[in-house]
Structure 1
Amino acid sequence: MRRSIETAVDIDAPLDKVWDVIVDFDRYGEWNPFILEARGKAEAGQKLWLRMQRPAKADEEVHTPTVTVVEKDRHLQWSGIIRHAMVFRARHEFLLEERESGVRLRQREDFGGLTMPLAGGMVWRIEEGFLLMNAALKVRAESLH
């Protein structure tokens, strides 16, 4: 079973500034309400360490996905699994599109695995987390512009 979520936000800042905010994992704790802390490098094959808190959920989670795609100023993707790819897997993407008045950022996550029928509420909270993160990223990038 598979499920995808996607959110978007328009940001009034140059493409390179938005990209810099997204890949500056060390500073996520300063502005990001969803991924509270991050470590790692935006380089294909690198493992990330992400401390996250989904909205309306007190518990924090740590995930260690692997960066799979890096196209500067355009596309960042990481993928992770829990136990085994057949049990639960997720692929997260940031897609940037330059526009006349700045950048459109899309966040997308594709989920799959045997446990997906049980994960409906979790996926909804992740979408809410994306919306919070998009708003905070917009404020951060526009304030740096």
Structure 2
Amino acid sequence: MGKHIIRTEVEIDASAEQVWSVLSDFNSYPEWNPFIKSAVGQPIKGERLQITIQPSGAKPMRFSPKVLASEPGRELRWLGRLIVPGIFDGEHCFIIEKLSDTKVRFEQSERFSGLLVGPLRATLERDSKRGFEEMNQALKTRAETIVFDKRA
């Protein structure tokens, strides 16, 4: 069975609470998120979400992951599966690491496992990683803009 991990990170000049407020506000994703085009549901452990992802230049994919962890200001993690366990599973993780009151390290990663990981590895590394990086930058911009707006 194949396994593959993609991990990206970015430093954001905003508080952990501000980054979490942007990350957990699924309704606003269509306004700013270039990777996760739509997220329906609540970021609550045990909930099932309806997610549509579309890395730039790629076709949209829809899936219904289950939330595994949700700690405001710290972590959001879900598990998505293609058809049945063991074919193609993806555990997607967002970690907010507080560096100071006004700075965090945001890490987005996904651990893939299953029979289709090998054949899809190049696509994952190219498209999914690009999607993560694009989302990280958009999250940074939005969280830092909200901070700026509140100071004005």
Under a length normalisation based on structure 2, what TM-score does the superposition of the two structures give?
0.91
**Are the aligned partners of 1:77 and 1:94 in contact in 2 as well (CA < 8 Å)?**
yes
Cross-structure match for 1:137: 139
Amino acid in the other structure paired with 2:109: R
Cα distance in 1, alignment partners of residues 50 and 123 from structure 2: 20
Q: Following TM superposition, by how much is the alpha carbon of 1:121 offset from its aligned partner in structure 2, in angstroms?
A: 2.8
Q: Structure 1 vs Structure 2: percent identity of aligned residues?
A: 35
Cα distance in 2, alignment partners of residues 73 and 93 from structure 1: 13
Pairwise CA RMSD of aligned residues?
1.0
Counterpart secondary structure, 1:33: coil
Offset from partner CA, 1:85-135 (integer Å, 9 cap, x none): 111100000011111351100001000001111112321210100000000
Counterpart secondary structure, 1:119: helix
Cα distance in 2, alignment partners of residues 120 and 54 from structure 1: 15
The number of aligned residues is: 144
Do structure 1's residue 74 and structure 2's residue 107 form an aligned pair?
A: no
Q: Where does the alignment leave 5 or more consecutive residues of structure 2 unmatched? A: 148-152
Cα distance in 2, alignment partners of residues 16 and 86 from structure 1: 35
Q: Where does the alignment leave 5 or more consecutive residues of structure 1 unmatched? A: none
Cα distance in 2, alignment partners of residues 50 and 76 from structure 1: 14
Runs ≥4 in structure 1, deviation > 6 angstroms? none
